Amino acid sequence: MNNKTAKAYPTKTFFVTMITRDITFEDCILDLIDNSVDGASRSEGNPPINLDDGDDLSKYRISIVASSDKFSITDNCGGMTLNNAADHAFSFGRRTSEAYDAYSIGVYGIGMKRAAFKLGRNIRVRSTFTDTDGSRTAFVVPIDVAEWLNNDDPPWDFDIDDAEDLDENGVEVVVQELTREAQTALGNPEFVENLRRIIARDYSLYLRRGLNILVNDRAVDGISIELRKSDEFVPMRNHYEDELEDESDPENKKVSVEIIAGMAAPPPESTEPDDKIDGEKGFGWYVACNGRIVLAADKSAVSGWGTPNWPQWHRQYTGFIGIVLFTASNAAALPLTTTKRSVDVSSNTFIRARLRMRDVSKRWIAYTNARKYNLANAKKKEDKAAVISIQNVENQPTIQLPMIPKQRIERRANVHYSVPVSKMKQLAKGFGSIQMPYREVGLKSFEYAYEDLVEDE
Ligand SMILES: Nc1ncnc2c1ncn2[C@@H]1O[C@H](COP(=O)(O)OP(=O)(O)OP(=O)(O)O)[C@@H](O)[C@H]1O
Ligand SMILES: [Mg+2]
C-alpha cells in the first residue's frame, strides 16, 4: 500500500452547481455590485466607509439591466487591470499572494464567479482601464460554461481576448443563456422591485455619498435610517476598537466597531398584530461590514433575540433600531458570511459586540414593559422626541430612556349574578327604559346602592 494517494482535486461541476446553490439571485447581483463599489473605492484611494460624511462618490455609476433573457451590470468605477484578470480575478478563492484592498467588501475571491454561474451559461466580463503607461486598455473574458465544463484537467483557465473600449473605465458583466430559474426570477417585475428595495437599504451608506445605482434605467434612492431624540430619549453612539486574537500582524487585527441605537418610532399601543400598519418591518438590529449592510432589521437569534438571557423578539419591542458598523482595513477580519447576507455568529468580534447589543436591547425591553402601566404618560414623552438621522447622533455610551411613573391601577371586581327576567325588566323600566341592557341595569343599581349606602354615610 505504499505510494498511494487519495485524489483531492475539485471538479468544475462543483463550482458551477454547488457554490451557486446556497445563494439567492438577489445576493448574487449584490455580489456584483459589491465588486463595482470596491472598484469605486479603489479609484478613491480606499477610504473607510462609516457614517461620517466622506468622499463624494457621485461620479460613479453602476447600471444593472435585468430581463428574462439577459442580465448585465456595467460600471464606470475604474475597471479591472489585465494583470489582475490574468492572476487573480478569475481564480476560485483568493490566493494568499493577493493583497487585500483596504476597506474592501470583497473577501473570499468567489463572488463574481458564483454570481455569473448562478445566472447563466454564456458570460462575458469586459474591462477597460488605464494602464501604468497611461494608455487605455480593454479586454474581455468570454466564458462558455458548457464548453468549460467538458474537461476537468488542470490547468483551469479562461481565455482573455482583445475587446473594444467601454465608454468609460470600468467593468461590464453580461450574462446570456440564463438558467431557467434566473429567467423566471429576472423576468418578474416583483423581483426587480424587491431588488431595488434591497439595494436602497444595503448600499444606503454609499448611496448617501452620491454613488449612482440604476436598475433597468431607474436610479435607486437610498433609505435613511432615523432615530428619535428628546431630553428623555437619547440614542446611543458608542465606538470601540476590537482586535482579532488569531492574527499576528497588528494592522490586520484591527476592527473598528460603532453601535448606534435608540427609539426609531413609538412602540405600538397594542401588541395585537395589526395588518393595516405593517409596523414591525424596519425595526430590529442592522449590521454593516465596511459600509455594506449585511443584516437588516433582524429580530432573530443572529442578533441575539431568543438566546440565553435575551427574550425572543416580540411585537411589543417594535420601535427599536440598532445598527452595528464593523469597519476593517483587512476585510477578512469582518464577521461576514460568504453570501454577505448575514453575520458569522461564531466570530469573536461579533460575539463581543453582541454582549453590548444585549445590554441595549434589554434597556429597550424594560422601557416597553414600563410604558404599558402608564401609556398616556409614555406617549406624551414619546411625542416630544424628534426625528434625527443616525449620522447626527452624538456620542453617548448607552441609550437613555425615560422613567415612566407607575400608575396605580385599582384592582377590579367582576360581578356575575342571575335574576328573573321579569324583575330585571321592571327594574330597567324603573331606570327609565325597559330596553336598557342588563349590564347597564346592573351597573346603575350598583351606583344607586353605593350612593345611598356609602356616599351619604
Ligand atoms: N467591477 C469590477 N471592477 C474592478 N475589479 C473587479 C470588478 N469585478 C471584479 N473585479 C476584480 O475581480 C476580483 C474577484 O472578484 P470576486 O467577486 O470573485 O471576489 P472578491 O470580490 O475578491 O471576493 P468576494 O468573494 O468576497 O466577493 C475582485 O477582487 C476584483 O479585483
Ligand atoms: Mg466580490
- The 3-class secondary structure across 283-324, one letter per residue, is CEEEEEECCEEEEEEECCHHHCCCCCCCCCCCHHHCCEEEEE
7 or 26, higher pLDDT: 26
In the beta sheet, which residues pair with residue 178?
Answer: 120
Q: For strand 212-215 and strand 61-66, is the pairing parallel, antiparallel, or unpaired?
A: parallel
| 112 pocket-lining for ligand 1 (C-beta < 6 Å) | yes
CB 194 within 8 A of CB 26: yes
Q: Is 198 in the pocket of ligand 1 (CB under 6 A)?
A: no
Kindly indicate the confidence band of residue 275, based on its pLDDT and cuts at 50, 70 and 90: low
State mean pLDDT over 98-116: 92
Q: Is residue 319 over pLDDT 70?
A: yes
Q: Given a cut of 90, is residue 111 above it in pLDDT?
A: yes
Determine whether the shortest distance from the Cβ of 113 to ligand 1 is under 6 A.
Answer: yes
Nearest 5°: the CA angle 387, 324, 52 is 65
Residue 109 near ligand 1, beta carbon < 6 Å: yes
Report how far apart, in Å, the C-alpha atoms of 445 and of each of 157, 286, 414 are. 93, 58, 15
Task: Report the atom number in ligand 1 closest to the C-alpha of 42.
Answer: 4
Give mean pLDDT, residues 394-423.
89
State which of 37, 77, 82, 112 you would mutate to test the pocket of ligand 1, scoring each by most atoms of that ligand within 8 A of its C-beta.
Answer: 112
Helix (H, G, I), strand (E, B) or coil at 368: helix
In this prediction, residue 405 has a pLDDT band, given cuts at 50, 70 and 90, of confident
Nearest CA to ligand 1 atom 8: 35
- CB atoms closer than 10 angstroms to residue 421: 9
Q: What's the gap between Cα 451 and its chain centre?
A: 62
Atom 1 of ligand 1: nearest residue by CA position? 36
Contacts of 357 (CB under 8 A, 6+ apart): 259, 261, 285, 303, 304, 322, 324
Q: Is the CB of 36 under 6 A from ligand 1?
A: yes
Any atom of ligand 1 within 6 Å of the Cβ of 235 = no
pLDDT at 1: 66
Ligand nearest to the CA of 34: 2
Return the ∠ at Cα 207 (arms to 42 and 115), rounded to 5°: 65
Q: What gap in Å lies between CA 328 and CA 49, rounded to an integer?
A: 10
Residue 424's H or E segment, with its range, is helix 421-430
Say what percent of the chain tops pLDDT 90.
84
pLDDT confidence of residue 248: 77
133-143, pLDDT tens digit by residue? 999 999 999 99
| Ligand 1 atom at minimum distance from 107 CA | 26
Count of alpha carbons within 13 angstroms of residue 125, beta-carbon side: 23
Q: What is the pLDDT of residue 276?
A: 54
Lowest mean per-residue pLDDT among 6-10, 21-25, 271-275, 383-387: 271-275
Position 50 scores a pLDDT of 84
pLDDT of residue 406: 80
Rounded distance, CA 3 to CA 13, Å? 28
Name the average pLDDT for the chain: 93
Sign of the torsion angle spanned by Cα atoms 229, 362, 254, 88? negative
- In the reported structure, the alpha carbon of residue 108 is separated from the centroid of ligand 2 by a whole-number distance in angstroms of 7
Residue 149: its pLDDT value, please? 93
Q: Give the closest ligand to the alpha carbon of residue 340.
A: 1
Per-residue pLDDT for 271 more than 80?
no
Q: Which ligand is nearest to the CA of 110?
A: 1
| pLDDT category of residue 273 using cuts at 50, 70 and 90 | low
Cα end-to-end span (Å), the chain: 108
Residue whose entry in the numeric block shows the C-alpha cell 428595495 = 197
Average pLDDT over residues 327-347: 95
For ligand 1, is residue 31 a contact (CB within 6 Å)? yes
Ligand 2 centroid, distance to 104 Cα (angstroms): 9
Task: Kindly report the pTM of this predicted structure.
Answer: 0.88
Q: What is the pLDDT of residue 54?
A: 78
For range 255-274, the mean pLDDT:
88
138 membership: H or E segment, kind and range: strand 136-144
pLDDT band (50, 70, 90) for residue 408: confident
Give the closest residue to 85 by CA, choosing from 136, 161, 177: 161
Ligand 1 site, residue 292, Cβ cutoff 6 A: no
pLDDT at 407: 74
Express each pLDDT in 171-195 by its tens digit: 999 999 999 999 999 999 999 999 9
Instruction: Please tell me the number of the ligand nearest to residue 88's CA.
Output: 1
Span from the CA of 457 to the centroid of ligand 2 (angstroms): 84
Ligand 1 near 75 CB (within 6 A): yes
Query: Which residues line ion ligand 2, judged by CB < 5 Å?
Result: 34-35, 106, 111
The conformation of residue 391, written as its DSSP 8-state character, comes to G
How far, in Å, from the CA of 109 to the mean position of ligand 1?
A: 7
CA dist., res. 414 & res. 5, Å (int) = 82
